[in-house]
Amino acid sequence: MKRFEIITETDARVLDRGETVLLAKGGHITPLAADTLKERRVTVLREGQAPDGAAALAPKADIRSVAIASDHTGITLRSMLINFLRSRALAVNDLGTHTADPVDYPDVAAAVADAVAHGEADAGIVIDGAGIGSAIAANKIKGIRAVMATTETIARYSREHNGTNVLTLGTTLVTPEEARAIVTMWLTTPMREPRYIARLAKIKAIEDRNSTSG
């Protein structure tokens, strides 16, 4: 990431569109440069802080409530995780399904994603056969950043670097023990780095642009 003590109009003109740059503490942006930066959609991260409003996009670090759902293939794993989450003193909103009758993963993924997007839960977990379809479906909900994780490393990176607020798991890809470890890592990893949080503002800008197009 390029670092500046001062950003002039000349500097702004040669930056790539959509680029993110770092402005040193006490640094300055000239008025003409500010206009150019806006036109080129350049994000300026001030050293030691996230851009205005971006911090609100970061997932809650102190998770107290979780919405969870599964399709018919994930009932057993979901039941285990509900007990596990409640043993950690978390409030759990169990959104089903409760029978072995086949259900479609987009429906259960949307139920969890909606709960998180509307502030009814701090985080969400969705379970299906592979976790992939549920992640795709959940990510169609505005404000949701869902990840399909098969390892603790993916879970940690997805929170620390990408600010995910929904986790999806595949019953065919993880054991119950692995699922517990993944969920624990995901729930306890905060997003604090301003440079990572700044990128959430860019994700939101893409989301907003696409929601108003057409």
Catalytic residue list: 161
- For 119, the token pair is 């502030």
Concatenate the DSSP letters of all residues of 83-143 into one string: HHHHHTT-EEEE----SSS---HHHHHHHHHHHHHTTS-SEEEEEESSSHHHHHHHTTSTT
Is the distance from CB of 154 to CB of 183 less than 8 angstroms?
no
Q: How far apart are CA 23 and CA 46, in angstroms?
A: 5
Q: How far apart are CA 210 and CA 214, in angstroms?
A: 8
- Long-range (24+ apart) CB contacts under 8 A made by 47-54 are 47/3, 47/22, 47/23, 48/194, 49/194, 50/194, 50/197, 50/198, 50/201, 51/198, 51/201, 53/201, 54/197, 54/198, 54/200, 54/201
**Closest by Cα among 202, 125, 210, 127 to 162:** 202
Q: How far apart are CA 209 and CA 192, in angstroms?
A: 26
